[in-house]
Structure 1
């Protein structure tokens, strides 16, 4: 299961799973129609230039507002009805906004925390509730390099704090559930060239140059650069890892 899977990094995670052999997947996003469209497109892409047929896949799209505990519970119930179990969950749904601290409207701050922090917690908790009876599973909370550093030049204090909360949440839950067979790890991306980021930077090339100059590798990441890390953390390849963080940031956090 992947939340926020209809677009952006969440959708790239879906593609990474399918490319690695996953044939059963639940894609969650705020708008059910977009989640279902993403599921259909993923199956069609997987069948191109291959011997696979659409009937080889069971990929579903579900509407889910991660800021609502009831919505998350409903999505998990539908997933369990469809598959009977859930082995790996990626909490990828999140938002970012840039306001100075003095100008940040409270309703926007609340919305950001409801999605980024509460949404990650609701997702992880429901995942564990379903994983523990089956013997365990893997949960990956998508944080950010912003959990470790302060981004410049854009002001985004609530976002940075929300991602730091997600990182520490994962570590805390990892300890709480370690002996129950549920692993909880964190993936922390750096600056990634998603479609949304490309659109924003097309109007601000100087910001793009600044971000690249601050990254030791001298470039922003491609969404595909996260594929190996997300599959590793979600699979048994990382079976002795819990409470860990993988940063994929081109070296941004080391200077």
Structure 2
């Protein structure tokens, strides 16, 4: 449908080398966008993402950097626009997850979580918005988590939960700041999703419980984040801003 088409659009996806970011980057290309794929130099999957997009017949660029370095993100946006055209869609998926008891957590662990999952999202939004506002607007979507709304039973991750809550409210705040200038900002809060992040050693023994606690009886597949991402990036969501879209299999209804 034309409403959901991203034909002629140029997108940037952070965290595009793995997990949700990789699948969303390819999904935006499937919807017609040309896509800049941003991730760390150490990301083994970044070139794979670019190759998948090329196989679809869309243009793509591999952009290397760290979301905690604002100048690097600014340069990535400039490189993207020079190579593919004016930026109008951004999906900020870069993030980390880990766990530790709050009373034992080192400040360095707390700070790194906030540096990547909150400051990195803000710096990405800032660089993307500077470009989009020059062009008359666009759409930014930040990947948050249902952990920003609820506390995950059995997971000791006060730093992660509070950081994702910050992403949700940051997205709403930026949406209100930029609404009159044609720039929409929303977030997506996935539930338990079958990525490396959610089958890491800290939670491997709890996967069955995750699935049992989810009304749909399973974790999400990364493919199931593509539809929400395309929707919020497209004309279909032209009157949607400041929204946190739960994609949690009904988890937060309990």
- After TM superposition, the score normalised by the length of structure 2 is 0.90
**Following TM superposition, where does structure 1 have runs of at least 4 consecutive aligned residues deviating by more than 3 angstroms?**
32-36, 195-201
Q: Which residue in 1 is equivalent to 2:35?
A: 25
Aligned residues of 2:37 and 2:50 also touching (Cα < 8 A): no
Partner deviation per Cα, 1:62-96 (whole Å, 9 max, x = no partner): 11200111111111111121123101001100001
CA-based RMSD: 1.7
Q: Corresponding residue for 1:250?
A: 249
Superposed displacement of residue 216, structure 1: 1.1
1:41 equivalent to 2:51? Answer yes
User: How far 1:34 sits from its partner (Å)?
Assistant: 4.0
Q: Deviations over 1:102-130 (max 9, x none)?
A: 12111111111010000110111111111
- Structure-2 separation of matches of 1:117 and 1:214: 28
Equivalents in 2 of 1:88, 1:100: separation in Å? 38
Could you tell me which residue of structure 1 aligns to residue 214 of structure 2? 215
Alignment partner, residue 76 of structure 1: 77
1:94 maps onto 2:107 in alignment = no
1:5 matched residue in structure 2: 16
Q: Given that residues 28 and 35 in structure 1 are in contact (C-alpha distance below 8 angstroms), is that contact kept between their aligned partners in structure 2?
A: no
Separation in structure 2 between the aligned mates of residue 140 and residue 117 of structure 1, nearest angstrom: 14
Residues 36 and 253 of structure 1: CA distance in aligned 2, closer, same or farther (over 3 Å): closer
TM, length-normalised to structure 1: 0.90
SS at match of 1:129: helix
- For 2:95 and 2:117, the matched residues in 1 are separated by 5
Residue ranges of structure 2 left out of the alignment (5+ in a row): 1-11
Structure 1 residue matching 2:187: 3-state secondary structure: strand
- What's 1:132 paired with? 133
State the distance in 1 between where 2:154 and 2:197 align: 19
Which residue in 2 is equivalent to 1:58? Answer: 59
Which consecutive residues of structure 1, in runs of 5 or more, have no partner in the other structure?
47-55
